[in-house]
Structures are given as C-alpha cells and as structure tokens.
C-alpha cells in the first residue's frame, strides 16, 4: 500500500501504545488514591485529580470504575511508589517515577535500560536536588483572563502562570493551554481554589521541574530521548523527568 500508509500505520500504533500506557498509569494512580483516601472523590482530592487526568486522555468510564473496584477488592495489588535517579548520556539528569508490586523486578529493569542506553543509575539524592517537585495544572484558556486569574490565585499558592502546549490527544492533536505551577505543598489548596471558581483543569499533575537545564546538539539529544522513551515503555514506570533543554 506504499510508504505513506506504513508511516500512518506506524503513527497510529504509536498513539495506541501511548493511550494504553496512559490508561495503565492512571489506573495505578486511581488504585493508590483510593487505598489512601477512599473511593469518594468529594472527600479525596487525589482521586479527583485522577478523574481529571482520566478524562484528559479519554480513558473509558468502565476502565476508571474497574480501577476503583480493584482498589477495594480482596485481591488488591499493593503498589509501592519508588523514585529512581540517574544520568542519561552527556550528563542529562533523569528522575523515574514508578509504581510497582515487585521492586526487585523494577530496579533491575530500570538499571538495565540506563546501562543499555549509555547512562547510569545513581543513588538516592544524587539527581533529585536538581529538580523541584511542583503541582502543574493545564487549563483551556477560552473565557479566562490570565492576568486576573493570576492575581486571584496567588493566595492559593500559585507561583507561575504561562502559556504552553497540551500533550497530543488520541488523534495526535495539540492545542494551546494555560499552565499553572505551584509548590508541591500547595497543590491541594490551588486545586480547591480552581474548583471553587468552577474551573476544571484539562490535567492536574505533580511533576519534577528542573532548576537548570542542559543544552545538547540534535544527535546528542536524540540519544537522551531514546533512553527516556525506553524508560517510559517499561510497565512499572509512571513518568520520566529530565533536564534536557
């Protein structure tokens, strides 16, 4: 059918793989949130955040409900959240968030990916000091006055407000968004302030934001991003953060 068909097919499968990975990641987050704070989203802010993120990636309602039931079932799988640190080629710092029911398997897999990708795992604390954990909210800008919103949310912990681009949706489309950042400790208060204003974020995440970045040429950057991609594909990995500019 020709090269164009093959390229489109490859892109389609890549989107499906990413979609499946997002569903698995958010499913684990729901299990962890329900176990920690119960199944009622009205009293569980972490679960409300999971629901927002599930909607943002088009996660079916039955998948969400199945994750909640799994968290309350007798055969509950306990996930430990573990942060691994390391370096990619050319000195790029990497943090790997995982949720695992077998930390021996996970650490072996993560270490192998680092080694095969020309990087190296580090000890706890060897990389994290180069990042700041922050709450990151993405909003649709329609109907919002960014300057007014910034003033109204400062008391709720807002530290930064700027423009950004959404992650590709299931069809591969992106769009402009407002990006709000706050300190990790202020995540709940900013989430509550947005809810009180009737603003439903596209996504609400806790992310590791680099305090400094490393600039590389295209070839070097590709080496780093290949390692990041391999880490993201591991079944136990939730998110990967790096300080590549």
**Between 73 and 221, the higher pLDDT residue:** 221
Which spans in 57-102 are helix H?
A: 61-72
Report the helix count and the strand count for the chain, using DSSP H and E.
Answer: 7, 8
The reported pLDDT for the residue numbered 151 is 96
**pLDDT at 85 > cutoff 50:** yes
Name the CATH architecture for the domain at 3-72.
Answer: Orthogonal Bundle (1.10)
114 exposure class (CB count in 10 Å sphere: 0-12, 13-18, 19+): buried
Beta bridge partners of 178: 139, 163
pLDDT digits (tens, 9 = 90+) for 125-155: 999 999 999 999 999 999 999 999 999 999 9
The reported pLDDT for the residue numbered 73 is 83
Instruction: Count how many residues are written for the chain.
Output: 245
CA distances from 68 to 32, 87, 88, 98, 147 (A): 10, 36, 36, 20, 38
Indicate if 130-210 has the same CATH topology as 80-129+211-242: yes
Question: Per-residue confidence at 78, pLDDT binned at 50, 70, 90?
Answer: confident
pTM above 0.95?
Answer: no
**pLDDT at 37 > cutoff 70:** yes
Q: Does domain 130-210 have CATH number 3.30.70.980?
A: yes
The reported pLDDT for the residue numbered 8 is 44
Cα 158 off chain centre by: 19
Domain regions of the chain by residue span? 3-72, 80-129+211-242, 130-210
208 exposure class (CB count in 10 Å sphere: 0-12, 13-18, 19+): buried
**pLDDT at 166 > cutoff 60:** yes
Q: Give me the CATH code for the 80-129+211-242 domain, please.
A: 3.30.70.980
The reported pLDDT for the residue numbered 171 is 62
Mean pLDDT score, 173-179: 88
């Amino acid at each position: 059918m020709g090269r164009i068909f093959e390229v489109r097919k490859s892109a389609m499968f890549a989107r499906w793989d990413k979609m499946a990975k997002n569903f698995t990641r958010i499913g684990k987050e729901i299990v962890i949130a329900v176990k920690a704070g119960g199944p009622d989203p009205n009293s569980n802010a972490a679960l409300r955040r999971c629901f927002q993120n599930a909607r943002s990636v088009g996660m079916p309602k039955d998948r969400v409900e199945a994750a909640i039931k799994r968290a309350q079932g007798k055969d509950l799988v306990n996930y430990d959240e573990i942060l691994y640190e390391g370096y990619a080629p050319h000195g790029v710092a990497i943090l790997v968030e995982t949720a695992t029911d077998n930390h021996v398997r996970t650490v072996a897999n993560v270490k192998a990916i680092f080694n095969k990708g020309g990087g190296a795992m580090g000890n706890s604390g060897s990389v994290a000091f180069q990042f700041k954990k922050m709450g990151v909210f993405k909003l649709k800008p329609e109907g919002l006055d960014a300057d007014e919103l910034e003033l109204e949310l400062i008391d709720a912990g807002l530290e930064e407000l700027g423009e950004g681009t959404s992650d590709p949706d299931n069809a591969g489309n992106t769009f402009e968004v407002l990006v709000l950042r706050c300190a990790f400790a202020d995540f709940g208060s900013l989430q509550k302030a947005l809810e009180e204003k009737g603003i439903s974020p596209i996504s609400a995440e806790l992310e590791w934001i680099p305090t400094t970045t490393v600039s590389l040429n295209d070839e070097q950057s590709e080496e780093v991003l290949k390692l990041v991609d391999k880490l993201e594909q591991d079944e136990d990995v939730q998110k990967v953060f790096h300080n590549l500019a």
